[in-house]
Amino acid sequence: MGILLQTIVAGLLKGGLYALIGIGMTLIMGVMGIINLAHGQMMMVAMYIAYVLNTMGVDPYFSLLVAMPTLFLLGVLIQKYLLNPLIKVDTILPENQVLMTVGIGMVLTEVIRFIFKSDYKYVTTSYSSATFFLGGISFNVPLTIAFFIALAFTAAMFWFLIKTDLGRSIRATAQDKDAATLMGINTGRITVVTMGLGAALVAAAGCLLAPVYYIFPDLGGPFTAKAFVITILGGLGSTVGAILGGITLGMAESLGATYLGMEYEDIVGLAIFVAVLLFLPGGFKRLTKV
Amino acid sequence: MRAYPKGLLTVAVLLLAVVLCGGVMAAENVKVGIVLPLTGAQAKFGEIEKRSFEMAAEEINAAGGIKGSKLELLFEDDTGKPDVGRAATEKLISRDKVTVLTGGYSSAVTQAATAVAQQFKVPFLVTTGSADEITEKGYDYIFRINPTSSEYFDPFETLIQKAGGIKTMALLYENTQFGQSSAKDVEGAAKSAGIQVVVKEGYQAGAIDFKPILSKVKGAKPDIIYMVSYVMDAALLMAQCKELDINPKMFAGGGAGFTLPEFQQKAAAAADLVYSATLWSEDVPYKGAKEYFNKFKKKYNSETEYHGAEAYGSMYVVADALKRAKSFSPNDIRDALAATDMMTAFGPVKFISYGKKKQQNKLPNTFVVQWQNGKMETVWPEAFAKKKYIFPTPAWKDRK
Amino acid sequence: MKKTPVAAIVAVAALALLPLVLADNYFLHLLILFLIWVIIGSSWNIMAGYTGQVSFGHAAFFGTGAYTAGLFVMHGGFSAWWGMAFGGVAAMLLGLPFGAICFPLRGAYFALASLALNLILMHLATIAERFTGGMQGIMIMPTFVSKVPYYYITLGMAVATLVVVQSIIRSKWGYYFVSIREDQDAAESLGIDTNRYKNVSLAVSAFFTGTAGALYMNYMGFIDPHVVFSLHDYSVMAILVAIVGGVGTIYGPAVGAFIMVGLQELFRSGFFGLFKYLGDRTGSETFTQAMEVVQHAHVLVFGILVVVVILFLPNGIVGDWGKIRKSVFRSKPAA
């Protein structure tokens, strides 16, 4: 019983972090309809920012305040100069935008590798391994904090999308781009802001992950994969879906690791992904309507 | 669309020009081809080995080279991929016409590269690639200086016997060639030593959270937890063992990961009292070992470790064989290598056959180190121990 | 264009005669790689460029073909050449159920599903140690020492692929494919059995890619899950080859293959050793340093190239040839 509970807790906490990674991507996919395959790489850049600040003595939690705006700016620039221009171009395949993100991901990874080499870097904090026990189940402190921060961000995004003008414009653009333009929304600007937001959110995830993981140029790939599993699972554009999706993925991975074997961890995620694509297209959003 | 043939022709001319360029090189030197991961995830070790090879070559050339001719090292980057390693080896053989090959870091790349060398009948002295299969195929042009992954566990067998009380083992390993083949060997060795393997799990390197599998391990209450991991997985594993309060009698690492300084830096207190197998340290009683370590530190301002020692030793073995060879034909060099019997900074080198292996060097000792108070101390075999091993490992709560 | 372009015929003839002039193993190897990518790129193009079913996981077919050949050796002691006959078939057998399950998905979702297929196969191959050898891979001794036989086999396969692609595209099937790509629902309403034709294009695509995989096993002698199921090295590369060359054109992928393979090796070797040569000749340190920078940055340059091509030549070199011609030759009077 102890093993089961511990597994569930581990999955839950990991899931919170996953959710934060997923929210950014679901927003981007919902609004622009493009799969940002550079999502994990953006997180990687944020983690390097946290690393550099850490070598100067800054705590990763404070790095959030630097990394988020920086990645917001990066996202804005990428969208404005590299992705928006593609919308106007007449090409045979609409997937050019996705491929552009692949190229961007490659460039980000290699530039970082060029500057920092491939060595593993890590941030040193006093609390990386801090744990507290509840009834014999171990809770990792940084992951628990990340979990609550992820919930906070989700709530904030939810409020933002529903209550603010900008948020409503984003949702309108996501629903029907042409109608939104007709309504007077500057959809070009909206897409740029959305990408920036998505990047900033994943930057937050990176800073929160930094204390419990390690940093290297190639870490982006697997996280991008998890992000789109969560996006599909939760439903495009749905922030609540992202939280549910993230937690579901986290728990599925943990349960799979314990009861099937840790090698199957990644396959579990992929299997869920395919199952959702086939049996619940639209993801949790279809069930929750948000 | 007439540009096609024109474009192709231009490129063909360019290619030919470059081919001719490549041919016009100094003919006086003895060329040694070295295949290493100079870029990619393993680049750090590739660099240590490259520097060690270069250092050794400099010393050998300064002392008169090979019967008056200088050693010329030609490095090729295998980028950590076996197909690139294969192509790189072919390039060294066909274009650069090297007389002998050495190097080989990752087992997968080494397997592919040695197959090429055997096919083209060029002698290859394997420096680091440790999968047993590499010298079990009966390839007569392939020699190996380093112990195989199945031998990493050997010093543990005697240590465990001495320490006593170890009946069950949990075995965790990364899903790479090295990890999977080591795990197979360790499982076999454990069984013959009468130890029951209660958990055996592979994992994808780069995992964030080992808690699920570790809770399973905790539930099985093993006496020893043996991990074949690379440095950061190793650090996370130990940190999470501490978080879950898992207390076996012994934590042991069977991969390079546990001996690197980064492991201890990342895992901090969780790294303490972890054992690991190692093939070499600067304190081994072999001629030149300490000098090599100090010289490397002075020249490059960073520390070398056993991979570097393997490279350094390999260079000397190659040079020695070249000096003794009747000519620089592949067969004569191969025969000279086969007759090697010398001491290097890495240890004694003599290629023998045992078990399924052929032309394999067998070090008399490999060592067990243990992290004590943030320092890596050699603790076994007793004859080489600097400090006594601490056993059984006290529970996390009881440590100071 | 009802006949094969002259340029293509000349190129094939030149390639056929090349080994008689240039017996250098290194360049033969590069050419073999180039030809393998002609096969993979062109097959991907049939399914994605022409039929609009963009696959992000083509390595799944490549790896299946490679492992078919490898498993013949590992479990049956047969020669890996049997894989050439069955590799393509195995890939088709993988592809058809996949298509049946996933073709109802549209656009990006289908792409993601194919990506998932790729990753699932990679993980399964790694885990099923006893069946596939896991990460220890499968290793065989290549049948021929010389590269020349492999070169001609690969050349033959590449030509066969292009011939098949060309004849399919120029037949009615070609029109059906394109109509599915342009507007699947309209095509359906016109009475075209879109499902059938999507499966046909998938089958052809998988077959050739799978056979290329089997060829790879025979030629390279070593495979493991991370090599042949690699998302980056095979799936993404296939897409890049086609995009750079020109999707939806018959010879685009061939051009793309030439450029990508050439560029990759150009950078990895520091401009084919030119830098090193210059460095040795002039004794200047800057050349050696520049070479190291170039070598270490070769993937970066690749990535930048991708970004640039997509931005300025979205239809690839062949597709946007008119554009290139105009901007490069604009100084000359109208041709």
Check CB contact of B302 with chain C, cutoff 8 Å: no
* Residues in chain B within 8 Å Cβ distance of A257: 212-213
Q: Which of A3, A218, A265 sits opposite B216 (nearest CB)?
A: A3
Tell me which residue of A171, A173, A285 sits closest to A235, measured CA to CA: A285
A217 contacts A112 by C-beta, under 8 angstroms: yes
For residue range C83-100, list pLDDT tens digits in order: 888 999 999 999 999 998
C129 inside 8 A of chain B by CB: yes
Q: Classify residue C14: in a domain, yes or no.
A: yes
Query: What is the DSSP secondary structure assignment for residue B69, as one 8-state letter?
Result: B
Residues C24 and C84 in one domain: yes
Q: Domain A2-288 belongs to what topology?
A: ABC transporter involved in vitamin B12 uptake, BtuC (1.10.3470)
DSSP character for B207? -
Chains that touch B (3 or more CB pairs under 8 A): A, C
Sign of the C-alpha dihedral, residues C242, C245, C250, C255? Answer: negative
What residue segments make up the domains of chain A, in order of their start?
Answer: 2-288
Residue C256, in any domain of the structure: no
Q: Do B181 and C145 touch (CB under 8 A)?
A: no
Last residue within a domain, chosen from C244, C278, C310: C244
**Chain A, window 66-85: residues with a beta carbon less than 8 angstroms from a chain C beta carbon:** 82, 85
The reply to whether C160 and C231 lie within a common domain is: yes
Contact C304 A82 (CB under 8 A): no
Distance CA B126, CA B133 (A): 12
C231 and C313 belong to one structural domain: no
As given in the structure block, the two tokens for residue C158 are 């590449």
Print the domain residue range for C117.
6-244
Q: Based on the domain organization, do C281 and C219 belong to the same domain? A: no
- Is it the case that residue C331 has pLDDT exceeding 60? no
Q: Which amino acid is at A37?
A: L
B381 preceded by a cis bond (ω within 30 of 0) = yes
Banded pLDDT at B24 (limits 50, 70, 90) = very low
Residues C153 and C47 in one domain: yes
Q: Is the pLDDT of residue B25 over 60?
A: no
Q: Which region among A180-184, B259-263, B266-270, C318-322 has the lowest average model confidence (pLDDT)?
A: C318-322
Nearest chain A Cα distance for residue B94, angstroms: 31
Of C132, C326, C101, C106, the C-alpha closest to C199 is C101
Residues of chain B contacting A11 with CB distance shorter than 8 Å = 212
Residue C203 lies in a domain: yes
Place of tokens 């070559």: B57
Q: Which residues of B touch C328 (CB under 8 A)?
A: none
**Average pLDDT, integer, range C232-250:** 88
Position C263 in a domain: no
The answer to whether residue A257 neighbours chain B at the CB level (below 8 Å) is yes
C10 contacts in chain B (CB < 8 Å): 4-5
Q: What is the CA radius of gyration of chain A?
A: 19
Domains contained in chain C, number: 2
C89 domain residue, yes or no: yes
pLDDT tens digits, one per residue of C140-156: 888 887 888 999 999 99
- Asked if the structure places residue C250 within a domain, the reply is no
Shortest distance between the Cα of C145 and any Cα of chain B, in A, equals 7
Q: A-chain residues within 8 Å CB-CB of B256?
A: none
Same domain, C273 and C228: no
Residue B269's region, left for phi above 0, alpha for psi from -120 to 50, else beta, is alpha
Q: Whose structure tokens read 């086969």?
A: B338
Interface contact C108-A271, CB threshold 8 A: no
Alpha carbon distance C230, B153 (integer Å): 32
The predicted model scores a pTM of 0.87
Q: Clarify whether residues C240 and C273 are in a common domain.
A: no
Residues C136 and C200 in one domain: yes
Structural domains in chain B plus CATH codes: 27-147+285-361 (3.40.50.2300), 151-278+366-398 (3.40.50.2300)
3-class DSSP state of C148: helix
Radius of gyration of chain C (CA): 21
- Poorest-confidence range of A261-275, B260-274, C107-121, C296-310? C296-310
Residues C228 and C299 grouped into a single domain? no
pLDDT for B74 equals: 94
> Which one-letter amino acid corresponds to residue C289?
Q
Nearest by Cα to C180 from C314, C315, C95, C53? C53
Determine contact: B208 vs chain C, CB below 8 A.
no
Residue B63's pLDDT is what? 92
How large a percentage of chain B has pLDDT more than 70? 93
Among A25, A35, A106, the strongest candidate for a mutation testing the C interface, having the largest count of C CBs within 10 A, is: A106
- How far CA B73 is from CA of B55, B142, C80, C285, in Å, comes to 11, 19, 36, 17
pLDDT tens digits for B235-273?
A: 999 999 999 999 999 999 987 788 888 888 888 889 999
